[in-house]
Amino acid sequence: MARLIRRPQVRITRDIDSCQREALMLGVEFPGMAPFSGLIEMREVWERCRGKLLEKCSPFTRPDAYWVFDVPIELLGGVDPNCPRNGYESERSALVRLRLPLTERERQILAAESRECAGVCTVVALVAPEREQQQ
């Protein structure tokens, strides 16, 4: 007969367990498991663990708690990125549009894309006069 093996909650850092991490990263809470006693405790844990959680993010993404606690809601027009009410604006678009702090990697990506775009624009500008002369 199979036995159910219960695993203890995994601590991501000294200060945070996996349920709290999920709530901060994804904005979700599991039924019957309240990871925080309230918004004040959630903010305190976010402020303690912000750096470690931001390090785990892919470029141009942020934890849900970042949008809740670090970005004034007025800047976002009252809605979070990826929300139907704002046309599903991506986190990347919101970060760039609002001129929020970017990581070094994100700045490198934007610079490379800018150089690539400049190259395409130059090619188009060089080809366009030839087409005009043919007409």
Q: What pLDDT score was predicted for residue 10?
A: 42
Residue 55 to residues 58, 78, 111, Cα–Cα distance (Å): 8, 26, 21
Domain encompassing residue 22: 7-70
Q: What pLDDT score was predicted for residue 118?
A: 67
At what angle are helices 39-55 and 18-26 packed, to 10 degrees?
Answer: 80
Using the 3D structure, point to which of 52, 70, 88 is the last residue of a domain: 70
Residue 92 lies in a domain: yes
Q: What pLDDT score was predicted for residue 55?
A: 92
pTM of the prediction? 0.70
Residue 1 lies in a domain: no
Residue 61 lies in a domain: yes
Residue 25 lies in a domain: yes
Residue 2 lies in a domain: no
Which residues fall within 8 angstroms of residue 62, CB to CB, at 6 or more apart? 54, 91, 95
**Alpha helix (H) residue ranges in 29-73:** 39-55, 64-65
Q: How confident is the chain (135 residues) per 10-residue block, as mean pLDDT?
A: 48 71 84 83 93 93 90 73 69 88 93 77 47 48
63 and 82, same domain (yes or no): no
11 and 66, same domain (yes or no): yes
Q: What pLDDT score was predicted for residue 7?
A: 43
Residue 121 lies in a domain: yes
The residue among 115, 23, 123 whose CA lies nearest residue 63 is 23
15 and 64, same domain (yes or no): yes
Residue 59 lies in a domain: yes
Residue with tokens 């405790």: 41
Q: Are 40 and 46 contacting, i.e. CB atoms less than 8 angstroms apart?
A: no
Residue 126 lies in a domain: yes
